[in-house]
């Protein structure tokens, strides 16, 4: 749990850059990967969601979808509604057609009407008609609404959503500074701790509000740089450089906590955090931060790769104990998506052959196991051996986000080779 100190910490002092290997030319098959990723995005993933998820009657998106797109429930989850608005708006802004903007509008208007209660808190789960079902004691519903409104405002030109995004962002900052409204009591035996997820999502929100160079930056607020520095500092406290491990939870000063929670590793989350940091480092020209980011990524991939069956394990214990999470050995869609983005980004930034080799290995395993050639889209949950565990394509946490984002970002990273 992060108490009110996130926005009050000392500024970041980046560590010195790590030594890099000489740039070598890997054996590339860029055209094959471009075609494969593009075909998967535009020929399988986007069509599945455009056909099955749009609720043209009541607005928003169906996000409980079986293997063939049939609905097994009508409730709508705010995380996934917001993420889908963001992704559709991104696709439209990157040369998509009007159907993507129309689909984004379905979600944006539904969320604007139903997602936030009279107390200013965003719900987690809604009925099909928007009536609230559940709320979390977390800030992530609000965060994904910020992303949705910001990108939809850019795509549509509707300034109303720009205002909503900035108002919600301020509300998120207030909840981080004082989490009391979240309803989390502080108990006598509670260990002081901070989670990686909170500074990580705030860093991502600042990046989304800044926008790409030349885009509408939502008024480049004077607090963006300060929030960014403090989030980076917090995230680096989770990185044990000596062991190359990223802990999900540490003490507020960054020291390890000797408990199952304090030893918990989530390789996919660490890789996602690393490429968030790498993007900041690239934008500001901080070679030391970029080196730290890629070291975090490398350590997470080394720890998480399943040498026996391939793919990334979901959870690990830093000291080799059995993780308490029963699903620890499963292979989930989103860590593999993050690893595809991260390794390809590292290769584009460094030119080192080892990063291309990692990308090729991870992307090959991912594309050979998760996509469903019969009905389109990807399965989300596999056994350790790589067999389908749950057949649904959309559930309370799997929506139109990690898969299309990974395919879209990797497609753009590969296209950037020609621009050099």
What is the DSSP secondary-structure string of 117-169?
-TTSPBPSEE-TTS-EEE--SSSHHHHHHHHHHHHHHHHH--HHHHHHHHHHH
Tokens representing 234 are: 């917090």
Q: What is the DSSP letter of 194?
A: E
Strand pairing partners for 378? Answer: 371
Give how far the C-alpha of residue 175 lies from the chain's centroid of Cα atoms, to the nearest Å.
Answer: 20
130 part of a folded domain = yes
| Predicted local confidence at residue 28, as pLDDT | 78
Q: What is the domain range of residue 359?
A: 6-182+192-419
| Predicted local confidence at residue 418, as pLDDT | 74
Distance spanning both ends of the chain, measured CA to CA: 44
380 part of a folded domain = yes
pTM to 2 decimal places: 0.93
Rounded (to 5) percent helix, strand, coil in the chain: 50, 10, 40
251 part of a folded domain = yes
Query: Is residue 267 packed enough to be buried (19+ CB in 10 Å), middle (13-18) or exposed (0-12)?
Result: buried
63/127 Cα distance (integer angstroms): 11
Nearby residues of 353 by Cβ (< 8 Å), 6 or more positions away? 24, 25, 26
For residue 231, give the nearest of 8, 1, 71 by alpha carbon: 8
1 part of a folded domain = no
46/40 Cα distance (integer angstroms): 9
CATH number (domain holding residue 121): 1.50.10.10
236 part of a folded domain = yes
In a 3-state reduction of DSSP, which class is residue 176?
A: helix
Q: How many domains does the chain have?
A: 1
Strand residues in 279-342 grouped as ranges (E) = 316-317, 331-332
270/238 Cα distance (integer angstroms): 9
Q: What is the DSSP letter of 30?
A: H
| Predicted local confidence at residue 262, as pLDDT | 97
187 part of a folded domain = no
Q: What is the mean pLDDT of each run of 10 residues along the chain (420 residues)?
A: 38 40 59 96 98 98 98 98 98 93 98 97 98 97 98 96 96 95 91 96 96 74 95 98 97 96 98 98 97 98 98 98 98 98 98 97 98 98 98 98 98 87
| Predicted local confidence at residue 336, as pLDDT | 98
96 part of a folded domain = yes
């Amino acid at each position: 749990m992060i108490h009110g100190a996130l926005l009050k910490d000392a500024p970041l002092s980046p560590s010195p850059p790590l030594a890099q290997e000489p740039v070598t030319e890997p054996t590339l098959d860029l055209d094959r990967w471009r075609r494969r990723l593009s075909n998967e995005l535009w020929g399988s993933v986007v069509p599945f969601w455009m056909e099955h998820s749009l609720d043209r009657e009541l607005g928003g998106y169906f996000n409980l979808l079986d293997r063939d797109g049939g609905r097994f429930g009508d409730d709508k989850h705010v995380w996934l509604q917001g993420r889908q608005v963001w992704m559709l708006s991104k696709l439209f802004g990157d040369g998509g057609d009007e159907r993507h903007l129309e689909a984004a509008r379905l979600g944006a208007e539904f969320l604007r009407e139903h997602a936030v209660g009279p107390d200013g808190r965003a719900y987690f789960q809604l009925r099909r008609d928007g009536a609230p079902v559940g709320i979390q004691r977390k800030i992530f519903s609000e965060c994904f609404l910020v992303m949705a409104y910001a990108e939809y405002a850019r795509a549509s030109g509707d300034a109303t959503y720009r205002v909503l995004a900035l108002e919600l962002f301020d509300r998120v900052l207030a909840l981080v500074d004082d989490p009391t409204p979240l309803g989390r009591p502080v108990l006598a035996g509670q260990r002081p701790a901070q989670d990686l997820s909170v500074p990580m999502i705030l860093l991502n929100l600042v990046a989304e509000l800044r926008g790409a160079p030349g885009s509408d930056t939502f008024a480049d607020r004077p607090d963006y740089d300060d929030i960014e520095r403090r989030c980076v500092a917090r995230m680096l406290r989770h990185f044990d450089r000596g062991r190359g491990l990223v802990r999900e939870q540490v003490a507020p000063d960054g020291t390890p906590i000797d408990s199952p929670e304090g030893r918990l590793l989530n390789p996919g989350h660490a890789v996602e955090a690393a490429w968030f940091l790498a993007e900041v480092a690239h934008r500001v020209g901080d070679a030391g931060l970029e080196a730290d980011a890629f070291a975090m990524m490398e350590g997470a991939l080394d720890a998480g790769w399943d040498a026996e069956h391939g793919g990334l394990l979901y959870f690990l214990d830093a000291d080799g104990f059995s993780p308490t999470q029963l699903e620890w050995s499963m292979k989930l869609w989103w860590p593999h998506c993050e690893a595809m983005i991260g390794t390809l980004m590292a290769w584009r930034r460094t030119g080192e052959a080892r990063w291309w080799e990692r990308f090729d290995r991870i992307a090959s395993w991912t594309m050979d196991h998760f996509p469903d050639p019969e009905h389109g889209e990807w399965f989300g949950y596999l056994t350790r051996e790589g067999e389908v565990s749950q057949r649904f394509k959309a559930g309370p946490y799997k929506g139109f986000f990690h898969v299309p984002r990974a395919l879209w970002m990797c497609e753009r990273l590969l296209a950037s080779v020609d621009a050099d």
